């Protein structure tokens, strides 16, 4: 069966493994190097200037620039990430894209190679069009490492690291939003908290100091004291949340544990003070080990921002909030208004049989082409 150009591009992208190597990737074919080089070639063929920006060995961002024909009025970045989550436990061949029943299956199809393909295709169409306005600089920023710490966009926004990237007025990160516009989402503060004790024989626990009990007091405080005080409501996002996601402690049932640690996922609201929460923990529980794994504030781009309005006009989508986190907030932290946008559903992200609807990929490409061609 013959597919449209953007769907064939998506098939090519899914067929290139770009699994984030952190954690348990489920394959030895990890990293973003191969897909970044494929994207770089695609961008060069449309006439874009291209730069590979290595964040870690074998793990680059790829930056492409379609320059305005004259003096640029604005500069917009399209920023989908290039990494995917693990393929462990998938029920289909993750890198063998199959179209069936109007859906394209494969790892990353929804999160977020469908939108990676759509954004690239829209830029290609813009580059080939003689009628479209080219009064603006359009950047493609294929970002590594989104699935574990947003390392790619953090590196990108250290402006001195790029020879190609200039000022930016707006950014659209590619995420599966079902073609709605996520202009607000929660922040993510991930912590590892560890307590130390003194081990001894379990038959005489009074001679030791139980690290698990110390962690237990922290967990109890988070659940019964801190969480109920998260009463501030965002008009779109609701309240902040907190969850203890992992716990590890002890070595044997008859030994008093000398160490215990938990990992905490605090989803905060835009404007929340992460440092204040950390000070509370340190003040209340004293000398605990406290490691910040991820510290990302939320996104809250006004729905009446001119480029949000233009994107809504092109897509017919609504402005909505999301409980998850995206690279968009890192752009915003550096003064670049941003939204998340794309086809596909977040419900399919990270699943064992991940897919994205073909029609939404094609629709996303058409929307982005219209948005870029008519950008005021």
| Nearest CA-CA partner of 338 in 143, 46, 68 | 143
Residue 17: predicted pLDDT: 98
Is residue 161 helix, strand or coil?
helix
Cα three-residue angle 363-369-374, rounded to 5 degrees: 130
pLDDT band at 375 (very low <50, low <70, confident <90, very high): confident
Quick count: other Cβ atoms within 10 Å of Cβ 168? 23
Q: What is the pLDDT of residues 61-91, one digit of tens each?
A: 999 999 998 888 999 999 999 999 999 999 9
Q: Say if residues 172 and 299 touch (Cβ distance below 8 Å).
A: no
Helix 5-14 crosses helix 358-373 at what angle (to 10 degrees)?
110
Residue 132: predicted pLDDT: 63
pLDDT band at 214 (very low <50, low <70, confident <90, very high): very high
Residue 201: predicted pLDDT: 98
The two tokens of residue 16 are 């290139």
pLDDT band at 376 (very low <50, low <70, confident <90, very high): confident
Residue 131: predicted pLDDT: 62
Distance CA 327, CA 182 (A): 12
Count of CA atoms in the C-beta half-sphere (13 A) of 11: 15
Distance CA 244, CA 140 (A): 37
Q: Say if residues 76 and 169 touch (Cβ distance below 8 Å).
A: yes
Q: Say if residues 317 and 339 touch (Cβ distance below 8 Å).
A: no
* Class of the CATH-defined domain 187-296: alpha beta
Is the predicted pLDDT of residue 174 greater than 90, yes or no?
yes
Quick count: other Cβ atoms within 10 Å of Cβ 267? 22
Is the predicted pLDDT of residue 106 greater than 70, yes or no?
yes
User: Topology of 5-185+298-373 in CATH?
Assistant: Aminopeptidase (3.40.630)
Q: What is the pLDDT of residues 123-146, one digit of tens each?
A: 999 999 876 667 899 999 999 999
Residue 2: predicted pLDDT: 62
Helix-, strand-, coil-residue percentages of the chain, each rounded to 5: 35, 30, 40
Eight-class DSSP state of 369: H
Distance CA 144, CA 324 (A): 18
b (16+ CB within 10 A) / e for 189-212: bbbebbbebebbeeeeeeebbbbb
Domain assignments of the chain as residue spans, ordered by start: 5-185+298-373, 187-296
Q: What is the pLDDT of residues 278-300, one digit of tens each?
A: 999 999 998 899 999 989 999 99
| Nearest CA-CA partner of 358 in 120, 180, 103 | 103
Cα three-residue angle 35-187-312, rounded to 5 degrees: 70
Q: Which residues contact 64 (CB under 8 A, 6 or more apart)?
A: 39, 40, 43, 44, 48, 49, 50, 51, 123, 139, 140
Stretch 2-6: mean pLDDT, rounded?
Answer: 84
Residue 241: predicted pLDDT: 97
The two tokens of residue 8 are 């064939």
Stretch 12-21: mean pLDDT, rounded?
Answer: 98
Residue 62: predicted pLDDT: 98
Residue 160: predicted pLDDT: 58
User: How large a percentage of the chain has pLDDT more than 70?
Assistant: 98
The two tokens of residue 200 are 């001894």
pLDDT band at 3 (very low <50, low <70, confident <90, very high): confident
* Least confident piece of the model among 153-167, 182-196, 261-275: 153-167
Q: What is the pLDDT of residues 241-265, one digit of tens each?
A: 999 999 999 999 999 999 999 999 9
User: How large a percentage of the chain has pLDDT more than 90?
Assistant: 90
Whether the CA torsion 165, 173, 293, 29 is positive or negative: it is negative
Average pLDDT, the chain: 95
Is the predicted pLDDT of residue 148 greater than 90, yes or no?
no
């Amino acid at each position: 069966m013959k597919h449209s150009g953007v769907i064939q591009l998506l098939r090519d992208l899914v067929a290139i493994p770009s699994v984030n190597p952190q954690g348990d990737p489920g394959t030895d074919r990890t990293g973003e190097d191969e897909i970044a080089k494929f994207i770089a070639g695609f961008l060069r063929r449309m006439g874009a200037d291209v730069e590979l920006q290595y964040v870690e060995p074998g793990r680059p961002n790829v930056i492409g620039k379609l320059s305005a024909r004259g003096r640029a009025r604005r500069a917009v970045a399209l920023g989908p990430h290039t990494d995917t989550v693990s393929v462990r436990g998938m029920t289909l061949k993750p890198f063998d894209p199959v179209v069936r029943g109007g859906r394209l299956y494969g790892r990353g199809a929804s999160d977020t190679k469908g939108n990676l393909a759509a954004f690239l295709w829209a830029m290609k169409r813009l580059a080939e069009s003689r009628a479209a306005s080219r009064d603006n600089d359009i950047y493609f920023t294929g970002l590594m490492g989104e699935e574990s710490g947003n390392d790619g966009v953090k590196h990108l926004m250290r402006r001195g690291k790029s020879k190609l990237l200039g000022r930016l007025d707006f950014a659209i990160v590619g995420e599966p939003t079902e073609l709605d516009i996520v202009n607000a989402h929660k922040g993510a503060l991930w912590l590892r908290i560890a307590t130390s004790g003194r081990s001894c024989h379990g038959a005489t626990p009074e001679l030791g100091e139980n690290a698990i009990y110390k962690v237990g007091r922290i967990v109890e405080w988070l659940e019964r004291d801190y969480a109920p005080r998260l009463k501030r409501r965002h008009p779109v996002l609701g309240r902040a949340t907190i969850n203890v996601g992992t716990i590890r402690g002890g070595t044997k049932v008859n030994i008093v544990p000398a160490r215990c640690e938990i990992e905490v996922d605090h989803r905060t609201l835009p404007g929340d003070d992460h440092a204040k929460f950390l000070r509370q923990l340190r003040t209340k529980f004293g000398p605990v080990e406290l490691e910040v794994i991820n510290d990302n504030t939320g996104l809250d781009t006004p729905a009446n921002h001119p480029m949000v309005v233009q994107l809504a006009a092109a897509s017919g989508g609504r402005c909505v909030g999301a409980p998850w986190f995206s690279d968009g907030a890192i752009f915003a932290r550096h003064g670049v208004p941003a939204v998340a946008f794309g086809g596909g559903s977040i419900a399919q992200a990270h699943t064992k049989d991940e897919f994205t609807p073909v029609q939404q990929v094609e629709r996303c490409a058409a929307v982005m082409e219209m948005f870029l061609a008519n950008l005021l």
